[in-house]
Amino acid sequence: MQSTSEEPIHQRLSDLFRERISSGDWKEGKPLPSEAELCAQNGVSRGTVRQALASLRSEGLITGGRGKPPVVAHPVPSQSFATFMSFTEWAHSLGREPGQRTLEIARRPAGEELAGKMLLQPGDPVIQVLRLRLLDGNPTMVERSNFVADVGNALFDFDTDSGSIFGYLTSRGVDLSRGRHVIDAVGADEMDASLLGVAAGSPLLREHRLTYAEDGRILECSDDRYLPHLANFVIENTRASRAALVRVPLVA
């Protein structure tokens, strides 16, 4: 496994192992390959493999250890990609009316920071989309998306005011297989404040997302900023299953 990210190798390896369990490649009740086999398959050290397996064991995804071969404990329930990744699908699932107003779609060279996040070279072309997202006509979220050029170029043939970008790309066969999400708080900048109708510096919930193809290539990097009184994020988990992360609207 070659290093292609700032994320520690053992974390990326544990992500890979989770995917093998989730996909059914590693089946419930069956032993995992030996540590020696996992080292050879992924080009990593035994210590790295043990760290990755320890993460899975702590989540209850595998059992065994201390002389016993690790065994898949149970199948991992899959979180619907569309439900979490698509604002439109989320809104519809709540019985709310989604909307969007496109402010900009442009082809630009990636700056150094964005290129680093997307594993591109500075100056590589990206397609940038800026939209205001609405719930029942009310400003709810500012969406800043960056797509690699061969994916994002398709958006110039799409009315981005008409609905879900992810839904459109998926309908064209784009492989949007996995997302990595970081949720934090951020102060509204001048653009956020103007679009969302709040004072500059007001707290917003931010979802920073990287979207991957099945082969691990990063296809999209986004920065979505929500009004915290309209939506928040809830994590439900148990010792026996992976966390499920969903958006929940707040009722006034």
Do 95 and 50 lie in one domain? The reply is no
Do 241 and 166 lie in one domain? The reply is yes
Do 98 and 219 lie in one domain? The reply is yes
The pLDDT of residue 80: 41
CA 59 to chain CA centroid, Å, is 20
Answer whether residue 228 is part of any domain.
yes
Do 128 and 210 lie in one domain? The reply is yes
Domain final residue pick, 72, 96, 114? 72
Residue with tokens 């493999």: 49
Cα→Cα distances 237→19, 76, 211, 244, Å = 18, 12, 23, 6
Answer whether residue 22 is part of any domain.
yes
CATH number at residue 49: 1.10.10.10
CB atoms under 10 Å from CB of 68, counted, come to 9
Domain extent for 178: 81-249
Do 45 and 111 lie in one domain? The reply is no
In this structure, are residues 148 and 121 in contact, taking their beta carbons and an 8 Å threshold?
no
Answer whether residue 2 is part of any domain.
no
How many structural domains does the chain have?
2
Do 45 and 157 lie in one domain? The reply is no
Please give the structure tokens belonging to residue 112: 């150094």
Judged on CB neighbours under 10 Å (0-12, 13-18, 19+), 3 is exposed
pLDDT tens track, the chain, 252 positions: 554 556 788 888 988 998 888 788 888 888 999 999 999 999 999 999 989 898 888 777 888 766 678 898 854 433 344 445 578 877 777 778 889 999 999 999 999 999 999 999 999 999 999 999 998 999 999 999 999 999 999 999 999 999 899 889 999 999 888 888 888 899 999 999 999 999 999 999 998 999 999 889 999 999 999 998 877 666 555 555 555 556 666 654
User: Residues with Cβ < 8 Å from 179, sequence gap 6 or more?
Assistant: 81, 84, 85, 209, 210, 211, 212
Do 91 and 46 lie in one domain? The reply is no
Do 42 and 123 lie in one domain? The reply is no
Do 98 and 117 lie in one domain? The reply is yes
Q: Phi-psi bin for 173: left (phi > 0), alpha (psi -120 to 50), beta?
A: left
The pLDDT of residue 193: 97
Of 207, 211, 212, 210, the closest CA to residue 223 belongs to 207
CATH number at residue 153: 3.40.1410.10
Answer whether residue 1 is part of any domain.
no
Do 135 and 90 lie in one domain? The reply is yes
DSSP 179-191: EEEEEEEEE--HH
Say which DSSP state 4 is in.
-
CB atoms under 10 Å from CB of 167, counted, come to 14
Do 99 and 42 lie in one domain? The reply is no
Residue 51 phi, psi (nearest 5): -65, -45
**How many angstroms separate the CA atoms of 70 and 53, rounded?**
8
Angle between the N-to-C axes of helices 46-58 and 35-42, in degrees from 0 to 180, rounded to the nearest 10: 110
Do 62 and 110 lie in one domain? The reply is no
